[in-house]
Amino acid sequence: MSTQHISSDELRARMQAAMVAGQKKRDVPRRFELTFNRTRLKSANPKTRLDYQVNESLWGVLFPTGVVMLERPYVNINAFETFTDLCDHFAAIGTYTVTWLDE
């Protein structure tokens, strides 16, 4: 049986490569596109009611910690504690769809 001797730098490089290769997909941020409208909001103004029916799109990121960030503030909110909070918020104001960009 032969023994292979490697330098500490080579060992460190191999360990780093093994750790990166062993990372699970859930350990990295996930990008998504959120398309939504505001059809559940009420307004007496007919033009505003029509504006609420228009679909809008935002880019977002779901971090491994569960925090969700949107590309721009929407109703003074651009971060949600969990993905469920984001879904609940947009379900309350209208309809929405999430398209994951890393699948």
pLDDT in tens, the chain (103 residues): 444 555 556 656 665 555 555 555 568 899 999 999 988 888 888 888 888 888 989 899 999 999 998 887 665 677 888 999 999 999 999 999 999 997 6
Instruction: Report the amino acid identity of residue 47.
Output: K
Per-residue confidence (pLDDT) for residue 31, from 0 to 100: 93
Q: In angstroms, rounded to a whole number, what is the distance separating the alpha carbons of residues 70 and 35?
A: 12
| pTM exceeds 0.75, yes or no | no
Per-residue confidence (pLDDT) for residue 96, from 0 to 100: 94
